[in-house]
A and B are shown apart, each in its own frame.
Chain A
Amino acid sequence: MEPVVSFQDVEVDHDGKPILQGIGFEVMPGEIVGLVGASGSGKTTLLRHLIGLSEPAQGEIRIFGERLQKLSHPSRLHLRQRIGVLFQGGALFSSLSVFENVALPLQERGLEETWIQPMVCLALSLAGLPPDTAPLMPSELSGGMVTRVALARCLVIEPELLLLDEPTSGLDPIASDAFIAVVLNLQKNLGISVLMISHDLRALKRLCHRVVIGGEGRLLAEGRIDNLRQSRDLRIRAFFRLDEEDSP
């Protein structure tokens, strides 16, 4: 089975200085993989490279088997239409209603309104939002609802891969749990592959099949959370010890 996402020996530079080196991991179809690490460890930078907003200095990034660096601009745009990206804080357009926010990617593809409306309603429903959320403005929503609307905007394009950047940050435990339940349900029912960038260990534990830990400019470890907790590496142990303290 071909991986949905594949990083092979990727090196990322900033102002000529390497900030990430030897990055290599894969996301298989239907898998939820967590990318974790301390703040500033380069998680969001990797996401930008995955969407093709930045180019790696070395190495190879493949999505759906296609080498990202070799793709032409139109091919990249076509590829992005298969990926749903949930940015930190939702990144909803404040001047558009919830419906318009979710409908935007479909309108950009030139789909007729008669098709857009049911698709938006379905996406809202899949994201666990009631239908009467549609006419609301983003300023009228709670933090948890903003994240879910952003998720609906990702889902409306029927993505094969979901990239979630800190989806539970800023959410209270109840909203966070509700979001996790929605993602689990989506993965189970639709078989979507998910790469989730987070340092919310509680969400990672509940969602991810596998976790990739970054730090000090490289990957420190990769594997199932249960296995990683047994690691002898003090940095990884410290990471999960914090988690244990957090757990009720």
Chain B
Amino acid sequence: MPEPWLTAETLPNGHTEVRLQGTWTLQTLADRKRLADVKREISRFGSSHPKATWNLESATLDHFGALVLRRTWTRARPTTVIRTPAQTSLFERWEHTPPCPLQKTGDTLAFWLKPARWVSETVAQTLVTIGQLTLLLALFLRQLLTSLIRPQHLPWAEISREIHEIGVKGLGIVALVGSLIGIVIGYLAGLQLQGFALRGFLVFIIGLAVLRELGPMLAAILVAGRSGSAITAELGVMKIRGEIDALRAMGVDPTYRLLFPRLVALVIVMPLLVAWSDCFGLASGLGAAALTLHTSFPALVRTLPRIVPIVNLWFGVVKGLCFGLIIGLVAAHLGWEVRADAGSLGQETTRSVVLAITLVIALDALAAILFQHIGF
């Protein structure tokens, strides 16, 4: 494409004609440097030949080229412009194009009330979420009771598949993270208590920390990140693609078909994953402590049941069950909330993980206070 340029010519009648040559289109003018050069040239020709006729007929022009000329001419508009009918219509189109607002119009009061609106909306949204989670829990418990009365109607295949997805496929990562945290606790606690002859105290710290807190928390965080997000995304995509409406249209209850098996699987799998995490946490923690204190690993293991009451194990396992329920309810609820755009899916999936972990930690803190006399 020939580049845009300008020439000035004195006609036989003594008038000056500025002639546009080359291609004056978005293709040739989009480059910032060239655009600046072209604007400078137009201004230069405009000021050096103020009464000149501008002839555009030899140039290839598009809307952008016309816009550049219009804008640069605003300071010194030529008195006469020679142009083709097609070029004239380009300029006319600019004259008839209304400006478009970038934001929806609103009044000033609405702008200043924005923070207050945000706070009230957030509070209302939180209350609505809590209400909906409670309703979802009630619905699940009703479905569970109904299913227990008629167990032959339970969606066994779906439950089995979800147990495999959430539980079996999560065994490796739960074991790895449980072991690593156990090593950290055992090693650091062992270093602090070296030379104090407090072997029993060390076993108590490791046992209580792993069985009561770390085992359930680690399993919950990993399941929320791995499976909670997957449930939200899966349900969200199903909603966007209209699959949930299709189920409803077929007379199938989507909560029973899609939500119930996942919640049942989480309730079954989470206590098992907690126990699994406990095993690896205790083994690696006591192993690290034995190495640090130069004592025998079997001796520490034998000490464990005498010093740490077994109720701590059950306490952790029951907490795991509750955490599983929370993760499932949050994931399903937010999956249901996905709107028909790509951004919403990402937002709700992130919210699912963050909200589930936050609620799990809040419940854990509550349980620590309420059951402080149990297991010591």
Interface centre among B25, B98, B339 (most CB of A within 10 A): B98
Contact of B101 with A131 in the complex, beta carbons under 8 Å: yes
Q: Answer yes or no: B99 CB below 8 A from chain A CBs.
A: yes
A77 to chain B, nearest CB (A): 12
Cβ–Cβ contact B67 & A119, under 8 A: yes
Which of chain A's residues has its CB closest to B32's CB? A110
Residues of chain B within 8 A (CB-CB) of A82 are: 27
Query: Which of chain A's residues has its CB closest to B344's CB?
Result: A94
CB distance from B23 to the nearest CB of A (A): 11
Q: Are A121 and B97 in contact (CB under 8 A)?
A: yes
Alpha-carbon gap, A106 to B99, bound state (A): 17
Q: Is the CB of B102 within 8 A of A134?
A: yes
Say yes or no: B100 contacts A158, CB within 8 Å: no
Across chains A and B, the number of contacting residue pairs, with CB separation under 8 Å, is 79
Contact A121 B343, CB 8 Å, known A110-B30, A135-B104: no
Residues of A within 8 A of B297 (CB): none
Q: Which residue of B lies closest to A191 (CB)?
A: B86
* Interface size, A (range): 20 to 34
Given A109-B30, A138-B341, A139-B340, decide whether A125 and B63 contact each other with a Cβ distance below 8 A: no
Known: A121-B100, A134-B100, A135-B103. A158 touches B26 (CB 8 A): yes
**B234 proximal to A (CB < 8 A):** no
Contact of B100 among A93, A132, A157, A191 (CB under 8 A): A132
CB proximity to A under 8 Å, residues B27-51: 27, 30-32, 35
B342 at the A/B interface (Cβ < 8 Å)?
Answer: yes
Q: Are B102 and A135 in contact (CB under 8 A)?
A: yes
Binary contact track A93-134/B, C-beta < 8 Å → 1, others 0: 111000100000010011110010111111011100001111
- A187 adjacent to chain B (CB < 8 Å): no
Convert A39-54 into 0s and 1s, putting 1 for each residue whose CB lies closer than 8 angstroms to a CB of B. 0000000000000000
Decide if B160 is an interface residue (CB 8 Å cutoff). Answer: no
How many Å from the CB of B335 to the closest CB on chain A? Answer: 18
Q: How far is the CB of A107 from chain B (nearest CB, A)?
A: 11
Assess whether B342 is in contact with A94, with CB atoms less than 8 Å apart: yes
CA distance A166 to B194 in the complex (A): 76
Q: Assuming A110-B30, A122-B94, A158-B63, is B89 touching A95 (CB within 8 A)?
A: no
| A189 adjacent to chain B (CB < 8 Å) | yes
Cβ-based interface call for A81 (8 A): yes
Given A109-B30, A111-B30, also A158-B102 (CB < 8 A): no
- Residue contact B27 to A81, C-beta cutoff 8 Å: yes
In the complex, A111 Cα to B33 Cα: how many Å? 11
In the assembled complex, the Cα of A117 lies from the Cα of B30 at a distance in Å of 14
User: Does B62 interact with chain A (Cβ within 8 Å)?
Assistant: yes
Bound complex: CA A170 to CA B32 (Å): 40
Q: Are A132 and B339 in contact, CB atoms less than 8 angstroms apart? A: no
Residue B241 is within 8 A (CB to CB) of chain A in the complex: no
- Residues of A within 8 Å of B31, CB to CB, are 110
Contacts of B101 in A (CB 8 A): 131-132, 134-135
Cα(A208)–Cα(B64), bound, Å: 28
Cα distance, A157 to B26, chains bound together (Å)? 7
B117 within 8 A of A: no
Chain B residues near A (Cβ < 8 Å): 25-27, 30-32, 35, 62-64, 67, 86, 89, 93-94, 96-104, 339-344
A residues in contact (CB < 8 Å) with B: 81-82, 93-95, 99, 106, 109-112, 115, 117-122, 124-126, 131-139, 157-158, 189, 191
